[in-house]
Amino acid sequence: MVGHTPQLSGEVLDLGSLVCIDTNCARGGWLTALDTTMGRVWQADRAGRLRTRQ
């Protein structure tokens, strides 16, 4: 199951046919959004830092 399997590293788990964007936001990790069409990822942490991945 992927829906509630937080990636403690803060990195998106991308297995090709399966992508887990639970990056542990509830416990201090990153809040993650994924554009499924383009594969682009946006992340923000509690301090307001932003990062992206393509």
- Per-residue pLDDT of 1-54, as tens digits, reads 566 789 999 999 999 888 999 999 999 999 999 999 999 999 999 999 999 987
pLDDT for the residue numbered 4: 76
Q: For residues 2 and 14, is the Cβ–Cβ distance under 8 A?
A: no
Contact 44, 28 (CB under 8 A): no
Q: What are phi and psi of 21, to 5 degrees?
A: -105, 15
Helix or strand run (H / E) with residue 32 = strand 31-35
Maximum pairwise Cα distance, the chain: 32
Q: What is the pLDDT of residue 1?
A: 55
**CA distance linking residue 34 with residue 36, whole number of Å:** 6
What pLDDT, on a 0 to 100 scale, did the predictor assign at position 53? 86
